[in-house]
Amino acid sequence: MDNRPVGTRQARDLLRVAFGPSAIALAVIAAVVLVQLVIANSDMTGAFGAIASMWLGVHGVPVSIGGAELGVMPLLPMLAMVWGTARTTAAATKAGTSWFVIRWIVASALGGPLLIAAIALAVIHDASSVLIQLQTPSASLAFGSVAAVHLVGALVGVGPRVTGRLLRLPYVPVWLPEAFRAASVGVLALFGLSGAIAAGSLVVHWGTMDTLFGITDSAFGQFSLTLLSILYAPNVIVGTAAVAVGSSAHVGLATFSSFTVLGGDVPALPILAAVPSPPLGPIWVALLIAAAAAAVGLGQQCARRAEPLPEAAGKLTTAAAVGAAVMALLGYAGGGRLGNFGDVGVDQGTFGPAAFVWFVGIGGLTVVMSGGLRRRPKARPMPAPPAPTPEPEAEPDTLPVPTAEETEPEPQPAFEPEAEPEVVFEPEPEGEPEPLPPPESAQPVQPRPSRAAPRDVFDFDDDPEAHYFADDDLSTADDHTSDEPRRSSD
């Protein structure tokens, strides 16, 4: 677990991305140059110029010595530089890294090598004043080549780490990673099968290769030829791939294709003993098998997940285009001018299109035969959505005044039994008052007397409470036998 602060850790990662691969390449080149100068019993004059020129040559920058241009640079160091840049950028890009930090990582992968390229150009320009044979290369070509090599490495390293976030974008198809994986399988298959054919051709032309090793008697010279053959092996493999897909490769005036071979002068490099000599013979059948097998591998990768016809066609076309572009880029990087021999490389006008035709044709047939197509599911009618449930309205703060219609009682159902009235039992008084005698009809009705005057006649319009008697009145009434004494007592 790294306990360093985030800022310090990111700074160290950016420094490693910017100068790590370039510093390792400089160290290896310096060791080789110094060993060469020591073995040749030469002084160290121009050592820095040679180191700077070889570092630029690793990035595909042509080197001019004594008026002779060496434009065919070995592909193996360039591929190693791409791999180193991809590895350092991938290590610096952690899961969940923001786009801001990713941009800084890519900028560091380009900025450090460009700074070293500027220093190398200045060193070469200074050394050319001492070594007249050494010439300064074009600055624009040098910066462009260095930036292209490290940009490819940065994209290869950062690409897999941000694939998940790129797939979330609406305009990026889901099958895009599968297309890139199929393209890599096709390129590696074509590259590997072409390498096997080149190795077989070396075995067939073993005598020619032994003759080329015999141009020097020293062990160091033979070691140097072996090292150069290893460094230029990818160039020969790319030329073999060009011949396999139907294009052609040339070394000066010597031209090699699947149908014709034109002889010419070839440099005395042991790896070039693999080039066929006229007549071609049945070797072209093996070349066509290699191209078809690579296309089959690409098609099988595209058919790993069945897709409808439009998606499957898009995936196959994208994979074929990416694979053909990679092969064409390798052909361009592995070619150039080789002094008096002329141009060395592949036919760029036919190499890329021929690889694309093989990948699309045989790859598409493989997709169909491998079950990589499926029918698009029919769209089923969706049921109508249910009506939305109305939300209850919020109760107002003040109660509404009911209207006349709302206050009417609701009719009761006919079958509902009526509630029985509750019987309330009132307590009976202890004693009942005597009934009052009927009023005399002969006497006229007199007005209601006042409270102070005695009442001889009952007034029925009077207050009913005046006709009730209290318990005291009843006890008094029991002592009297007639009304007159009772009224007098009242």
pLDDT of residue 168: 83
The per-residue pLDDT string of the chain (490 residues; one tens digit each, 9 = 90 and over) reads: 455 555 677 888 899 999 999 999 999 999 988 888 887 777 777 788 889 999 999 999 988 877 777 888 999 999 999 999 999 999 998 877 888 889 999 999 999 999 999 999 999 988 887 777 778 888 999 999 999 999 999 999 998 888 888 888 888 888 899 999 999 999 999 999 999 999 988 988 888 888 888 888 888 888 888 999 999 999 999 999 999 998 999 888 888 888 888 877 888 888 988 888 777 767 777 788 999 999 999 999 999 888 888 889 999 999 999 999 999 999 999 988 887 788 888 998 899 999 999 999 999 999 999 888 887 776 666 666 676 676 665 555 454 555 555 455 555 555 454 544 554 444 544 444 555 555 554 455 455 544 444 444 444 455 555 555 555 554 444 444 444 444 444 3
Q: What single-letter amino acid sits at 117?
A: A
279 prior amide bond cis, ω within 30: yes
Q: What single-letter amino acid sits at 118?
A: A
The strand pair at 343-346 and 248-251 is best described as: antiparallel
What's the rounded Cα separation, in Å, for the pair 71 and 63?
7
pLDDT of residue 262: 82
Q: How many CA atoms lie within 13 A of 48 on its CB side?
A: 12
Q: Which two tokens stand for residue 419?
A: 């509630």
pLDDT of residue 489: 41
Residue 317 to residues 309, 310, 367, Cα–Cα distance (Å): 12, 11, 12
Non-local CB neighbours of 119 within 8 Å, separated by 6+ positions: 52
pLDDT of residue 109: 94
What's the rounded Cα separation, in Å, for the pair 187 and 208?
30
CB 81 within 8 A of CB 149: yes
End-to-end CA separation in angstroms for the chain: 117
pLDDT of residue 387: 64
pLDDT of residue 223: 86
Q: What is the pTM of this model?
A: 0.74
What's the rounded Cα separation, in Å, for the pair 350 and 355?
8
Q: What single-letter amino acid sits at 380?
A: R
Token match 């590895």: residue? Answer: 87
Q: What interhelical angle do 75-92 and 219-231 show, nearest 10?
A: 60
The strand pair at 68-70 and 63-65 is best described as: antiparallel
pLDDT of residue 482: 44
pLDDT of residue 483: 44
What's the rounded Cα separation, in Å, for the pair 119 and 129?
16
Q: What single-letter amino acid sits at 23?
A: A
pLDDT of residue 207: 87
pLDDT of residue 415: 46
